[in-house]
Amino acid sequence: MNAKGLLAMRKSITTRLCLIFAMAISALCAGVEDHASIGKKDDPTLLYDSCTDDWREHWTLDGQKATLTHSDKGMDFWAGPTFREDASHAVLWTKQSFSGDIKIEYEYTRLDRATRCATILYVQATGSGEDPYVTDIAQWSDRRIVPAMRRYFDHMNTYHISYAAFNNNNDDPSEDYVRARRYMPLRMKGLRGTDLKPDFARTGLFSTDVPHRITVIKRGNTLSMRVQNDEAEKTFLWTNDTLPGIVEGRIGLRHMFTRGARYRDFRVTQLGAREGNSNP
């Protein structure tokens, strides 16, 4: 290639990189804008649970080895005690289903000192639609008495956010991660190809006994999580531009075996449409 051709190629690469950078900044700004506007709109509250009273009013439970207790500090939710035992997983599901764009807020205080396994938030989960895994996941809860992970990623459409999470062979308490997925049950490939990039490692968040305020926004094809404590604040943002969108479903709080946390002031809000945006 001659010098002129090489220069043209460099210009083309530079232009593409600038475009990618601009798109990334635009997506980031959209997420920051959403979080900055929290509490400034008259968006309706769809669900509020102080988490200080009986959990059965708003939630159903997958998993028979979980324990749930209440105090004026909130709801203490523990999965079962046995590592690598599927029956020791646990999931709390909202009785209510939510459609459109939503905001999820709650206070999360990690109670365990584990260096393995994950806490997971499911955002708008429905069944795959293939019999017997119908759209309303409440209709096949009997198939989740043992809440093995494969029952969820093989048979549900949902967003999944792992946080306060560790690999199952990890021993370093600083090696946490935050990760998002969009389950693709009809592909029958398990978790392969479900990642929403990027992953976030070593966040410095979620220390035991430290309250964290979590805000998750699902708007259109973007998903974001803001996490705040008294010393730090971080926002994690994902754009789903390759997989089908998620438009409705129940919200779930999953604790993998051995994990425990306290929840308080759980709220779901319907987000109004932004100007120029046709999403509900």
**Per-residue pLDDT tens over the stretch 130-142:** 999 999 999 999 9
Which residues lie across from 67 on neighbouring strands? Answer: 78
Task: Please report the pLDDT score of residue 20 as a whole number.
Answer: 39
| Residue reference for tokens 């998620």 | 246
DSSP assignment of 48-69 equals: EE-SSS-GGGTEEEE-SS-EEE
pLDDT of residue 278: 37
Report the distance separating Cα 233 and Cα 203, nearest Å: 10
Q: What is the pLDDT of residues 32-84, one digit of tens each?
A: 444 545 444 689 999 999 999 999 999 999 999 999 999 999 999 999 999 99
Residue 214: its pLDDT value, please? 98
Q: Give the per-residue pLDDT at 10.
A: 55
Q: 279, 257, 255, 251: which is closest to 105 by C-alpha?
A: 251
Q: Which residues make Cβ contacts (< 8 Å) with residue 207, sequence separation at least 6?
A: 110
pLDDT for res 22: 40
Q: What is the pLDDT of residue 37?
A: 53
Residue type, 253: L
Residue 48 and residue 53: Cα distance in Å, rounded? 12
> What's the predicted TM-score (pTM) here?
0.86
The list of the chain residues with pLDDT below 50 reads: 6-7, 9, 13-30, 32-34, 36, 38-40, 275-280
SS3 content of the chain, % helix, strand, coil (to 5): 20, 40, 40
Q: What is the pLDDT of residue 42?
A: 81
Residue partners of 80: CB distance under 8 A and separation at least 6: 63, 65, 66, 87, 88, 89, 90, 257, 258
Alpha carbon distance, N-terminus to C-terminus of the chain: 52
| pLDDT at 116 (0 to 100) | 98
Three-class DSSP category at 187: helix
Q: What pLDDT score does 130 carry?
A: 96
Q: How far apart are CA 75 and CA 200, in angstroms?
A: 28
Topology classification of domain 44-270: Jelly Rolls (2.60.120)
Order of strands across the sheet that contains 59-62: 59-62, 90-99, 248-255, 117-127, 156-166, 177-182, 195-201
Instruction: Report pLDDT for 253.
Output: 99
Domain ranges of the chain: 1-36, 44-270
CB contact set of 280 (below 8 Å; sequence gap of 6+): 99, 100, 101, 273
* Secondary structure letter of residue 81 according to DSSP: S
DSSP string for residues in 221-244: TEEEEEEE-SS-EEEEEEE--SS-
